[in-house]
Structure 1
């Protein structure tokens, strides 16, 4: 049975670590099977196939990011109702989230399948990779109902303080995905399609596991009236969810421009950036996990009107996250080249070119990882406090900075411009979010001075 956690009492550091660690492990397993997709395709099919998966990467994130954003927004209201011990409102928030998610599934699935090929063509996808990229992303998009359902169920569990059940679900999915990857790609010879099918089937298993956990939570014993449509609750859910969705879509818009520039350097460079992106996905997980813990912590304590605990919690989350960020950077700098080689099997000169494209990107991302971690923590804290507008604005800032810098720097510094554009976008968004958080916490709790150095 899912174990819910009240985060309005107890030591913030212990609560945040206790919540974040299972989520971190779950995210790492999720990234693991994403990496296995990449490694199996890169070593089992070849560099062109690896570039095909990479060319579809931002299209995958376009939908996944919007789904995650919407469900994260829904979870804000759920966590606030739980913190306020308003269980009737909690159940209504959950049921309306489910109804809105059902509508979203239809809209997202149809739209995504229609725009996939035109988007790949618009992004100047290399001729050697466009067919494989379209095949891969089309199969992923057909799994949108599963992706949406899993993320909603996981968001509900995390809003109630349970990060362990999604962890277990992700471990199960990862093991299944790895096994199916090897079977479908190397055993059956299904190539790129096999990797995509394995991912969707694994996600289905994690979805079913979370569903069984949610229906066994006592405070979520739904009554008939809980399912009655409530326009006010839906409006509030959309007020919280749509800005987060738009924020992720806008961030992805910048990523698509980056992908366009990357594609222009040829499929070897695309393969190198793809391998580096997968490793960066692993590097980000500690920061996003502690940030998610802080979002739930902030939401519950806002509902309980314990504002000083929010201030104390963000200090702990930032300190822990930044220490981890610099530790990861050291590992990446020391072993990055060796790790990249695991992704590919080809002619030695081709492998060397891919590694040369990937390693500088990894070093730059690693050294600046602490900025991204701070961005995550401030963003989810604001969202947990019910402010989804400023995080959305920060996403727009990321968009313009990422686009402007990648266009300018790639013209001046070539491939290195792609690497530094990402860091510039992080810095701009992080500064805005930091200022917004301290202004908001000072406004909510004006009697105490707020130290801008967390």
Structure 2
């Protein structure tokens, strides 16, 4: 994308069209990103076995915990860049881009050290079954070697999306995913390296996506930055702005992941079959998650740029349109996934016990998808305008806290996987209601405007 701010369709074009044009590349990009892990799961499940399948699946919650913290900071950088771009301030965008990349490099290094040092201990704390813990540890330790490229790629993607370019990140992910698929087949199906081969394939594909993204950022003629290695450093004022928006999101992501680790631990207590079924369900379930999160990213950029340009009524109209689009898409996904549950599980495993357990999970949770969408879209819109504190509080207590409380109370009395599953629709419904009430009250907009005007005056 090489348009000027005055030609920016996000600020002037049809709202449904602009949201859809931005959503689709993000959706396809997220689809190919998910192929990293889904291809791992498919090939490992079919060529290595149920224990290896469970081992790869058991690592997901811990990875999400560590990576999610820095992805939250990446989204914070995206918000402030989108606001500066919408306000037509290229000098500020340039400073923000260089600081964001410096933060990504430092964050990736920290994650590498933490992941390598704590993988085995965390898996033990999560009650990972003995028969899969060695494989799961090996997978994690190799996977964490790719943290720097993964975080740099995520930051670069947020930078490009913040200025309305959602297409090139898609192209990079397609290439990286194809690399991942080829290496998975080679290192797992042909060369029998098992979970180690799957992890190596993922790391190499992440390096490819990082290299492509950095080349794009350094050669982006017409963009409001001039990328130089010598300028990549953390400017305290910019870093403070990134953290102001990103840290609440990072904390939210971390607590989400901790609650999911607790859920994974609860599932682990039901044995390898339940772990394998939950792992496969997560791959199928991701069709919903990548769709709703793509709409969330789209509305965050849309509201961020329009808020920066002081088009406040357009912010509200865009949020309403995005909610309607997300609801319609979610209904369609639910109607597709529910009847295809058994067929989809057979793509990943021929273990009848795993298939039966997985079908039960899908039939319980798929009808509850509609209860989640207000959390994603309203929090995305609020975040784009710079309101992060209250949405974080709602998510932390309405989703994470309540989920853990439910498990503490329910599992001793109702020792069944269904008790774990019920924590999702319960917490989604409560948090969605809280978001709707907070958004409709409207006071958040006045506070965001006042904060924006205050920071502009100081600058």
Give the TM-score normalised by the residue count of structure 2: 0.92
Q: Distance in 2 between matches of 1:45 and 1:2?
A: 47
Deviation by residue 1:245-277 (Cα, 9 ceiling, x = unmatched): 111000001011111111110011100111001
Change (3 A) 1:312 1:121: same
Asked if 1:86 is matched to 2:107, the reply is no
- Which residue pairs with 1:62 in the alignment? 65
Indicate which of 249, 252, 255 corresponds to 1:244: 249
Which residue number corresponds to residue 47 of structure 1? 50
Cα drift, residue 103 of structure 1: 2.3
Structure 1 gaps, min length 5:
346-350, 447-454
- Structure 2 residue 284 is matched with structure 1 residue 279: yes
> What is residue 301 of structure 2 aligned with on the other side?
296
Matched residue, 1:451: none
Structure 2 CA distance for aligned equivalents of residues 30 and 415 of structure 1:
29
Query: Aligned in 2, Cα 1:2/1:361: closer, same or farther, shift over 3 Å?
Result: farther
Equivalent runs, 1:175-324 vs 2, <5 Å: 175-217=178-220, 218=222, 219-222=224-227, 230-324=235-329
Matched, 1:142 2:145: yes
Query: 1:225 deviation in Å?
Result: 9.6
Looking at structure 2, the residues matched to 399 and 150 of structure 1 have their Cα atoms a distance apart, in angstroms, of 28
For residues 401-447 of structure 1, give each alpha carbon's deviation from its aligned partner in whole angstroms, at most 9, with x where no partner exists: 1112233333344110111112222223222333333334664399x
What is the rounded CA distance, in whole Å, between the counterparts of 2:282 and 2:106 in structure 1?
A: 32
Q: Which residue of 2 aligns with 1:404?
A: 405
Deviation at 1:230? 2.9
2-side partners of 1:223 and 1:38: how far apart?
A: 39
Q: Distance in 2 between matches of 1:150 and 1:352?
A: 39
Between 87-96 and 30-39, report the one with greater CA deviation: 30-39
**Greater mean deviation of Cα atoms: 405-414 or 220-229:** 220-229
* Offset from partner CA, 1:84-140 (integer Å, 9 cap, x none): 001111111111112222222222221222111111111111001101111111111
Task: State which of 150, 157, 161 in structure 2 corresponds to 1:158.
Answer: 161
After superposition, residues 438-453 of structure 1 pair within 5 angstroms as 438-440=440-442, 443-444=445-446
1:288 Cα deviation after fit? 0.9
Q: Describe the SS at the equivalent of 2:348.
A: coil
Distance 1:401 1:44 in 2: 39
Contact 1:325 1:366 in 2 (8 A): no
- 1:336 is matched with which residue? 341
Looking at structure 1, the residues matched to 250 and 2 of structure 2 have their Cα atoms a distance apart, in angstroms, of 27
Q: Larger deviation: 77-86 or 412-421? A: 412-421
Q: Deviations over 1:291-338 (max 9, x none)?
A: 110000010011001010111101111111111111111111111111
Note the C-alpha offset of 1:223: 7.2
How far apart are residue 200 of structure 1 and its match? 1.1
Residues 442, 382 of structure 1: CA spacing in aligned structure 2 closer, same or farther, 3 A cutoff?
closer
Unaligned runs of 5+ in 2: 449-459
Aligned-partner SS, 1:75: helix
8 Å contact from structure 2 (residues 382, 388) kept in 1: yes
CA RMSD of aligned residues (A): 2.0
Deviates more, 1:21-30 or 1:363-372: 363-372
Match of 1:15 in 2: 18
Q: Aligned residue for 2:457?
A: none
